[in-house]
Amino acid sequence: MKELTVNAVIENIQTVTEFVDEQLAALDCPMKAQMQIDIAIDELFGNIAHYAYHPEIGAATVRVEVTEEPLAVLITFIDNGAPYDPLANRDPDVSLSADERQIGGLGIYMVKKSMDEITYEYRKGQNILKIKKHI
């Protein structure tokens, strides 16, 4: 298991992505899976940066674990910000045009569709969001 703790600011999305990509490279992760994970990082860490501590700045931890049989990567995002379960919202109606759809929720929807598992819990004052991708 590898772990990185940084300030939850938009500028650190690249740092988090590079940290995770280093772990994925060691696993010979296929490019398609890496791109899906990178998009998920952008969405999930971006949400933490925008909303968890607003208007303050706080820390966020990103943990990368590897499971075997089947080979998968488990990425956990942990912050001490305001409790928020992004999975509690209804999925957007993607059959509607962009003009007809309500604003918000599309990024989380894309993460749900591209990852094999996604879970959220609020425990001991922490938001804990986990994504799992088989590689």
Cα atoms found within 13 Å of the Cα of residue 12, Cβ hemisphere only: 19
The pLDDT of residue 88 is 86
Helix (H) or strand (E) holding 77: strand 72-79
Q: What is the pLDDT of the chain when averaged over all its residues?
A: 91
pTM of this prediction?
A: 0.90
CA atoms of 70 and 7, how far apart (whole Å): 33
The predicted structure's pLDDT at residue 51: 92
> pLDDT tens digits, residue range 55-74?
999 999 999 999 998 999 99
Q: Which long-range contacts (CB under 8 A, 24 or more apart) does 30-36 make?
A: 30/135, 33/133, 33/134, 33/135, 36/114, 36/115, 36/133
Q: pLDDT tens digits for 94-116?
A: 555 555 555 555 678 889 999 99
40-63: average pLDDT = 95
**CB neighbour class for 9 (10 Å; exposed up to 12, middle 13-18, buried from 19):** middle
Least confident of 7-16, 49-58, 87-96: 87-96
Cα gap 114→39, rounded to integer Å: 9
Please report the pLDDT score of residue 132 as a whole number.
Answer: 98
